Amino acid sequence: MTDIKSKDQNPFFSLEEIDSEREVKWRETLRLFCANRPALFGFLFIIVFIFVGIFGSILVPADPFEMVAVPLTSPGVGTLFGSDYLGRDVFVGIVHGTKATMIIATTATLVTVFIGITVGALAGYYGGIIDNILMRITEFFQVLPPLVFAMVIVAVFSSDILVVILAIAVTTWTTEARLTRAEFLKIKEQDYVTASRAIGDRDRRIIARIILPNAMPPIIIAITLRVGITIIYEAALSFLGLTDPDIITWGKMIGQSRDYFFDAWWTVTFPGVAILLIVLCIALIGDGLNDALNPKLRGR
Amino acid sequence: MMQAVIQRVFLGIVLILGVIVLNFFLLQAAPGDVVDAMLAEAGGGDPELAARLRQSYGLDQPVYIQLIKYLGQVCIGDLGYSFYYDEPVATLILSHLPTTLMLTLSALILAVLFGTLFGVYAAIKPKGFFSNFVTVFSLFGYATPVFWLGMIVLLVFALYLPWFPAFGIRSIPEPDHPFDRALDIIHHLVLPTFTLAVLFLANYSRISRASMLDVLGADYIRTARTKGLSEPKVILKHALKNASLPVVTLAGLQLAQVFSGAVLVETVFSLPGVGPLLYESIVRRDFPVILGVLFGAATTTIVANIITDLVYKWMDPRIQSIT
Amino acid sequence: MISEATEFDPNNILTVKDLSVDFDVKGQSINILSKVNFGLKRGETVGIIGESGCGKSMTALALLRMVPSPPGKISNGEIFLNKKDIMSLSKREINRVRGREISMIFQEPMTALNPVYSIGNQLVETIQQHKPIDRASAMEEAIELLRSVQIPAPEKRISEYPYQLSGGMRQRIMIAMALVCNPQVLIADEPTTALDVTVQAQIFDLLKKIQNKNKTSIILITHDFGAVSEMADRVIVMYAGFKIEEGTLEEIRNSPIHPYTKGLLGSMLELKTDSAGFRERLPEIRGSVPDLLNRQAGCPFGPRCESATTRCLQMPPTFDLGDNRSVMCWLVENGEN
């Protein structure tokens, strides 16, 4: 009865204390995350993928574009995962494709999230006419089917890797924008934001230092899941041949084997399993974060 | 209600106009124009002819006049001309649309229906096997690339177990009886629909489980029980309608994504839909067709969003204004 | 003096004997309600008062066999409505008791009504659940009910949705819904907590009026002694899942015995000014509600009790002082009161 539980409501609660409270919360989150077996497994597996991405071309120095075997050799001793229609080693392709997949996925995610958070934060914080305009723009981008729009962008401009990354970002940022806006709308009504405004903090500081850190938990989950979606998305574009011709990616390996996979299941199965595995691990991490950040909603 | 509909439709029209403007500028940015395409198809021509043609097509006029002309054309249903197919783009798209619509709609309906069913059942028995299944299923649904799943499905159910046809939408030759012909099309659509539906189904079952769990803890469910309503009535009348609201929203929002998925699935299964048309046109850089597809897809999404909004409003009386 | 359970009183409309509810949390069984006994007479109002988490709402849910399961279950006890054994009823039979013989209204009129169905729909549904009449006559009856809970323009209100109504209005609708079958027992779980003070008074008036008219017995669950003194004839004080004191309103208000009851009253009485004109500090009960997961042996209130002795390390029994007056405290045995 006597213990004060009104920290959330007390407007004079100092910001430092909120900061340290947040730190404690993060530590608790980390503990919860590590206690979650599947999430930890996903995380360790991702580290393996990153390792392969960085050192793969050193460990398996063969050229993925080089013909090393009889076309469509089945998996076996010489070619672990078999060879494709040009006699290229599928295993070497997968190892080398890891790097491209990871680089494209992370950069595209960063750009997507940057656009999304910026738009969402501005709309949510300022409200009114700015919110209205930004949300109409968001709505506009939402009605364009992402993959089709990205295909059009790549077709109109070029299949340069930068264009591909931008195309992915431009067509998908709306989810993050909506989420960030919703969080900002919620948090800007909190008393510590009012307090910060009352002591004369400037908008930029309030947005970046006060609201954003508090809005982070759901955004972090969204970013994690976004990485997975981007990997699949990039694979789809590569599958359709809309990617840099000099780079090997898993999606491209599947796309190029489209006419041959009835005779050689391995040419599409293994690259697909690679995609499935990495995205599955990301999903496990996302789930783990979700549980760790919202312990109350566990199991949903 | 009527006012809300009008407002929503007006917003839709503005969005469509926006798409047209976007299309125009993309067309401007694309390498080559109508004349280049025409001459390329005709096997080349001299610069003088090209200049004369450009003049006759108004391509020498200022951009804003061209934009207004383009707007006018699109408004009367003229999306341009494909010199490769030698057909107006609108006709071309309309002839490819039925397959895509059939695939998208049946996949979406299956996904929403079974997704909700799975989710609700899992929520009623949150500790049961089925609830765990939904968790694992939705994880795989999130992580599986749809085009790859299509290929694996083909390998299993068309090659190793030859139960379904692998490619196309009709057998050659086609059966004579119209009923058999319909059956034949359905037979061809089973695998692609399944492929497209299963991934969205995974997603919807997860969403509807979470939402159902929320709803089952709500006070009005407790009220319904204290009133002496039977458990099936509590679930089917009081919980289901509230729990399906997020699914409806999601289905509306995801329509554009389902369409994107359909493009891939059609490409994998070689269905004569809009997907392969787009793919081929991109390979050939046939820009009027490419942008026509973008326009068509966006317009369909806008219309579908309006319908979703209205369904949502009809289901949830609290929604007064449009968000 | 020490009684194991209240004797079965033929005057009681509702008798609760040794009611216990357990919750299963992470494989551990937690006792939410421990051997609660009480009776309810016809036309009487019993107030159950206590802090949040003391088990008062769970008592109400248990009476309708609505303890959320899993994780909870009624682990022990008997509930008799007249001579009907509630615990032995089938699912079908219990549904005929709910809303017909025992009705319930809740704290949050904002959320207790289903937002996606109209008022009329929800009322008609309740009426048709219990009476074999067609939709049109059910609608008429619904309008009549709304009128009886003093809702203006019921013909118009009936087609409206919960979000269109104020909190007080919604609570009246909840009451109307509870009255469909003129139940013998009405359980009101914090019926006015979420409402404005003026509206609170109106709702209490309404409840009293209904009680006088139909001879309804009311169980009023609240944490607010003001509400209890407004409505109740008899008061049950609960703490950590135990009934720690019972008596008439006068007895509890004027001569509370259990230290917790005293503390509860002390923290609620109006502020007195001392000689210097300063307001006295509002008395409080130190400590906080015990953690039900790690119950200690002995009296549940012991750790917070000003009068605790070594005696209190043993669980005190319920001392029956006769005439529905009982206290669960060693102080009574020592005759210190």
- For residue A251, being part of any structural domain is answered with yes
Residue A273, pLDDT > 90, answer: yes
Kindly state the average pLDDT of the residues A66-80: 74
**Using the beta-carbon criterion (under 8 Å), do B279 and A258 form an inter-chain contact?**
no
Which DSSP string do the residues of C75-106 spell out, in sequence order?
EEEEEEETTEEGGG--HHHHHHHBTTTEEEE-
Most confident of A231-240, C142-151, C181-190, C203-212: A231-240
Which DSSP string do the residues of A84-132 spell out, in sequence order?
-TT-BBHHHHHHHHHHHHHHHHHHHHHHHHHHHHHHHHHHHHH-HHHHH
* pTM of the predicted structure, to 2 decimals: 0.79
Task: Enumerate neighbours of A (3 or more CB pairs within 8 A).
Answer: B, C
Kindly state the average pLDDT of the residues A18-35: 72
Domain boundaries, position A133: 5-293
Distance between CA atoms of residues B112 and B258, nearest Å:
12
Q: Which of residues 45-104 of C touch A (CB under 8 A)?
A: 51
**Using the beta-carbon criterion (under 8 Å), do B318 and C115 form an inter-chain contact?**
yes
Q: How far is B97 from chain C (nearest CA, A)?
A: 37
Kindly state the average pLDDT of the residues A149-169: 90
**Using the beta-carbon criterion (under 8 Å), do A145 and B302 form an inter-chain contact?**
no
Give the residue range(s) of CATH 1.10.3720.10 domains in chain B: 96-315
- Which comes out higher in pLDDT, residue A112 or A22? A112
Instruction: Please name which of A289, A250, A241, A288 lies closest in space to residue A270, comparing C-alpha atoms.
Output: A250
**Using the beta-carbon criterion (under 8 Å), do B293 and A275 form an inter-chain contact?**
no
Q: Which two tokens stand for residue A169?
A: 């970002």
Q: Give the rounded percent of residues in chain B with a pLDDT score beyond 90.
A: 21
Task: Enumerate neighbours of C (3 or more CB pairs within 8 A).
Answer: A, B
Confidence of residue B232 (pLDDT cuts 50, 70, 90): confident
Average pLDDT, chain A: 82
Instruction: Please name which of C181, C12, C8 lies closest in space to residue C82, comparing C-alpha atoms.
Output: C12
A153-167, B73-87, B91-105, B295-309: segment of lowest average pLDDT: B73-87
Identify the pLDDT of residue A258.
Answer: 86
- For residue A120, being part of any structural domain is answered with yes
Q: Which of residues 1-60 of A touch C (CB under 8 A)?
A: 1-3
Q: Which residues of A touch C288 (CB under 8 A)?
A: 1-3
In the DSSP assignment, the letter for residue C295 is P
Grouping H, G, I as helix, E, B as strand and the rest as coil, residue C73 is strand
**Using the beta-carbon criterion (under 8 Å), do C267 and A3 form an inter-chain contact?**
no
Confidence of residue A4 (pLDDT cuts 50, 70, 90): very low
- Summarised one tens digit per residue, pLDDT across range C1-50 is 344 444 566 778 888 888 888 887 777 778 888 888 888 888 888 889 88
Based on its alpha-carbon atoms, the radius of gyration of chain A, rounded to whole angstroms, reads 23
Bond before B173 cis per omega within 30 degrees: yes
**Using the beta-carbon criterion (under 8 Å), do C97 and B228 form an inter-chain contact?**
yes
**Using the beta-carbon criterion (under 8 Å), do B257 and A152 form an inter-chain contact?**
no
Produce one character per residue of C242-272: b if its CB has 16 or more CB atoms within 10 Å, e if not. Answer: bbbbbbebebbbeebbbbbbbbbbeebeeee
Q: Give the rounded percent of residues in chain B with a pLDDT score beyond 70.
A: 96
Instruction: Please name which of C223, C197, C220 lies closest in space to residue C210, comparing C-alpha atoms.
Output: C220
Identify the pLDDT of residue C124.
Answer: 87
At the top level of CATH, which class does the domain B96-315 belong to? mainly alpha
Confidence of residue C172 (pLDDT cuts 50, 70, 90): confident
**Using the beta-carbon criterion (under 8 Å), do B278 and A268 form an inter-chain contact?**
no
A97-106, B201-210, C10-19, C290-299: segment of lowest average pLDDT: C290-299
Distance from the Cα of residue A275 to its chain's centroid: 14
Q: CB pairs under 8 A, 24+ apart, for C196-203?
A: C196/C167, C196/C168, C199/C167, C199/C168, C199/C171, C200/C227, C201/C230, C202/C168, C203/C168, C203/C171, C203/C172, C203/C175
Q: Which residues of B touch A154 (CB under 8 A)?
A: 282
Q: How far is C163 from chain B (nearest CA, A)?
A: 7
Q: Are B113 and B319 in contact (CB under 8 A)?
A: no
- Summarised one tens digit per residue, pLDDT across range C87-138 is 888 888 888 888 888 888 887 777 888 888 888 888 888 888 888 888 888 8
Among A156, A268, A287, select the one facing B26 at the smallest CB separation: A156
Domains and CATH numbers, chain C: 12-101+183-333 (3.40.50.300), 106-182 (no CATH)
CATH code of the domain covering residue A71: 1.10.3720.10
Confidence of residue C292 (pLDDT cuts 50, 70, 90): low
Confidence of residue C334 (pLDDT cuts 50, 70, 90): low
Identify the pLDDT of residue C8.
Answer: 60
Residue B301, pLDDT > 70, answer: yes
Which DSSP string do the residues of B204-269 spell out, in sequence order?
HHHHHHHHHHHHHTSHHHHHHHHTT--HHHIIIIIIHHHHHHHHHHHHHHHHHHHHHHHHHHHHHH
Among C91, C129, C163, select the one facing B227 at the smallest CB separation: C129
Identify the pLDDT of residue C130.
Answer: 82
Chain position carrying tokens 């309008």:
C143
**Using the beta-carbon criterion (under 8 Å), do A300 and B18 form an inter-chain contact?**
no
Q: Nearest 5 degrees, angle CA B129-CA B133-CA B136?
A: 140
Residue B321, pLDDT > 50, answer: no
- Summarised one tens digit per residue, pLDDT across range C255-289 is 888 888 888 887 765 544 555 555 555 566 766 66
**Using the beta-carbon criterion (under 8 Å), do C95 and B228 form an inter-chain contact?**
yes
Q: Which residues of C touch B219 (CB under 8 A)?
A: 106, 108, 111-112
- For residue A97, being part of any structural domain is answered with yes
Provide CB contacts within 8 A for A135, sequence distance 6+: A123, A181
**Using the beta-carbon criterion (under 8 Å), do C106 and B223 form an inter-chain contact?**
yes
Instruction: Please name which of C217, C211, C223 lies closest in space to residue C186, comparing C-alpha atoms.
Output: C217
Inter-chain contacts counted by CB atoms under 8 A, chains A and B: 139
- Which comes out higher in pLDDT, residue A239 or B182? A239
In chain B the first and final C-alpha atoms are separated, in Å, by 14
Beta-sheet strands, E only, within B56-133:
81-82, 87-88
Provide CB contacts within 8 A for B78, sequence distance 6+: B88, B90
In a mutational test of the B interface, the residue from A148, A233, A268 whose CB has the highest number of chain B CBs within 10 Å is A148
Q: How many domains does chain A have?
A: 1
Confidence of residue A233 (pLDDT cuts 50, 70, 90): very high
Instruction: Identify the H or E element spanning A83.
Output: none
Chain position carrying tokens 């990354």:
A165
Among B19, B29, B159, select the one facing A156 at the smallest CB separation: B29
Identify the pLDDT of residue A22.
Answer: 65
ipTM of this complex: 0.86
Instruction: Identify the H or E element spanning B295.
Output: helix B287-315
Inter-chain contacts counted by CB atoms under 8 A, chains B and C: 77
Instruction: Identify the H or E element spanning B172.
Output: none
- For residue A261, being part of any structural domain is answered with yes
